[in-house]
Chains A and B, each alone.
Chain A
Amino acid sequence: MSETKSVKAIRVRLEFISWASTFVGGDGNERKIFDEEVPEGATLRDVLKKMSSRYRSLDEALWHNGTGELAEHLEIAVNDALLGIHHKLDSEMKEGDLILLMGQYMGG
């Protein structure tokens, strides 16, 4: 008989600011906040996949044609540092991590 191991959960926060909020039901003029519970050991990719599975428009904007790689439409910061500085997509999340999603930059 196999032994069942209980998996501890952690909580992380996702914030969609400004235009990025339109991908999760916002109007582009507000900050949409989600406190998510994920299993310990979950990566940033896991958290984002969980979120995008609930919102089709987020799924289309976040991932490049189902490749599992990020598309060009959104920028991500973890704990106030841009993705790539301290975290990558496969970095393990910690209790209380803050994931910020924002629209890609524009100018002109």
Chain B
Amino acid sequence: MTDYAYAGEILRVDLSSGKTWGEKFEAADRRKWVGGAGLGAKILWEEVPPEVGWDHPENRLVLATGPLAGLPVWGTGGLTVVTRGAMTGGATNTQANGFFGANIKYCGYDAIVFQGESPDWVYLHIRDDGVELRDAAELLGKDTWETQQSLEKTLNLSGHNLSVYSIGPAGENLVRFAAIQGDYGHVASKNGCGTVMGKKKVKAVAIERGTKGVAAAHPKALFAAADDIAHSLQTDPSTKGLYLYGTLGGVRNLQGMGALPIRNYTTNVWPEEVETQKWEANGLREGFDHRGHQCSACGMHHCHMQVISSGPYKGQVVDEPEYEGWSGAGWTIGATDPQQVTWMNTQLDRACVDVNEFGWLCGWVMECQQKGYITDEDLGFRLEWGDIDGANRLLEMICKREGMGDLLAEGTKLAAEKLGGEAQDCAIYTEVNNSPRGHDHRSRWEEMIDTCTGSGGTMDTAPPVFPTDYGLPARVHPQDAEAVPKHVGGLRGRRAYEDSLGACVFTTRAPMDVLCRSIQAATGWDVDKDEAMQTGRRINALMRAFNLRCGIGPEVEKPSRRYGSTPVDGPIAGVSIMDQWEKMLDIWYETAGYDRETGRPRPELLRELDLEDVAEALWGANV
């Protein structure tokens, strides 16, 4: 049988014994779980029992791609990381792009599964069938870019011939929100996936571009579908800006609707002195010498490298921040000079932490210093709003766990709980410890409820994409307490399916029937939009079941006091989400098909999703 769209093997790496082997990715499992998030969820459920915490050697770290990776559909170099994460202690579903997905499949694997814990620091080297754990002593202490540069030199390879996904000093020192970064600027950031990699003493994965092909079932139809996806991205009113400028347009759009998080949610009004023009999408791009830094097979004008053109970091090459970088390394901490923010964003990528979590943490420290909750003596220096050098100093303290950095390395929630009182009231986090992304969600209620109920360390549904494909309204008012949870619950599944394809979620923002045509052509399956949604919901339900088994239930599905506070100014001044919170949860649970009291997916839903064993595990054999 031809393994259309799949390499057909999963690479297993036992770090305790140093043994590696290939395992068949059974054809029967492929359609049910697809790859990426789905494959990872299955492995997590079957192989990580509740007593195996995030830092236990038997935790699994799954680096997976999916059926579209390595094929000529835009943005198909995708990496999905699934593990039991260090932030929530539950499931993780986080993505990075670049060339991982293509290069690993050309080596003959659909995924890498790390288990065990190495006695010494290692990196995994893959070259076609040659798989080897190598000594990483010389890489220790290096940031992620230095690590890639060092391995390029060692292996005498560069450009797209070598993918390196690594942790930085943060992961080495088990900073709880450490991330995994690859191919200069692509970060799987959520739920402390880099912390798990550090605990396993894996510094990096280096994949030489393999020589094996990936076959499509219907090549001509695949090209036609890929062209249609590209056309949709180039012409749809929502994605045209994304096609031309990536996520740069987010700053002005979100500022206009009161959803740009400014100075740790203390205001929603843009400071008068800010030069608006600099923060327009093309203003941000034209402010720098830049060049395209596209991911595998991608035609979007999205990822770029740029050169800082003025100020103390002039001449340095950095990766152009995503919107989240402009937010977490900028607005959240009161920094409004793009030249400085872009430098800080790359510092975060290189040290390798989640830019969102750093933003909430640094903004919180700044506000606490301003209000006297954290003194200069506590911190060791004065950190004012917008102080980029100070923010970088804070980052170094956190990565080395020096002084107060040791506490801050635990993330915003745990640090704020430790300080307690009025300091805790200023902190932005969720009780489940999913890091909110860099928006002011008090203006985007769908994202706040999604972040609080998400089972993968972040949002499960994420922003709506063609909701009318599934009979939902094209648009709902962002503060409509009835329509919002129906939208979030009703679209639940699409994102998890996309996260399983080995593709970038910015290039899968096409109508679902068009996206399904690409999957049909790649795999030969007659998949349609309903099957796609059903598969995504299966993945979401399994991650939730995993979390429930780990003791993470509905009691932690709420925002911190500041995260759920009422804005005092701007376009949503005086509008309170918490007045509506319980009602919204009621509707969300009903729409998702989950039990409101226990948080469990209902047994009839689990059976419908072909998860009989999960229904039995959660509800007992006789329900």
Chain A positions within 8 Å of B, measured between CB atoms, are 17-19, 22-23, 27-30, 57, 60-61, 64-65, 69-75, 77, 80-85, 100, 102-108
Contact = CB atoms under 8 A, between A and B. Distances in A.
Contact of B256 (A27, A57, A75, A85): A75
A41 to B, nearest CB: 24
Given A28-B280, A85-B572, A108-B323, A102 B475 contact: no
B349 interface: no
Nearest to A75: B257
Contacts of B277: 29
Contacts of A84: 477-480
Interface stretch (B15-23, B48-56, B117-125, B241-249): B241-249
Given A19-B252, A82-B478, A107 B257 contact: no
Contact of B479 (A77, A85, A107): A85
Given A29-B282, A82-B479, A77 B256 contact: yes
A76 B128 CA distance: 53
Given A82-B257, A105-B463, A106-B253, A28 B281 contact: yes
A74 to B, nearest CB: 8
B281 A19 contact: yes
Contacts of A107: 247, 250, 254, 322-324, 327, 437-439, 463
A106 B323 contact: yes
A51 B575 CA distance: 29
B86 to A, nearest CB: 22
Contact of A18 (B249, B258, B324, B437): B249
B551 interface: no
B253 A19 contact: yes
B324 A108 contact: yes
Interface of B, helix, strand, loop or mixed by DSSP? loop
Given A18-B280, A29-B281, A71-B475, 15 more contacts: A19-B249, A28-B280, A28-B281, A70-B475, A71-B237, A73-B238, A81-B572, A82-B257, A84-B480, A85-B479, A85-B572, A103-B238, A103-B252, A104-B253, A107-B247
Given A82-B571, A108-B323, A18 B247 contact: no
Contacts of A60: 237
Interface of B: 237-238, 240-242, 247, 249-250, 252-254, 256-259, 277, 280-283, 322-324, 327, 437-439, 443-444, 463-464, 467-468, 473-475, 477-480, 505-506, 570-573, 575
Contact of A69 (B258, B327, B467, B474): B474
Given A103-B253, A108-B322, A83 B477 contact: yes
Contacts of B480: 84
B241 A19 contact: yes
Contacts of A80: 570-571
Contacts of A29: 277, 280-283
A53 B105 CA distance: 50
A104 B283 CA distance: 18
A61 B237 contact: yes
Most-contacted residue by chain B among A19, A69, A85, A102 (CB, 10 A): A19
Contacts of A64: 468, 474-475
Nearest to A15: B256
A106 B280 CA distance: 13
Contacts of B282: 27-29
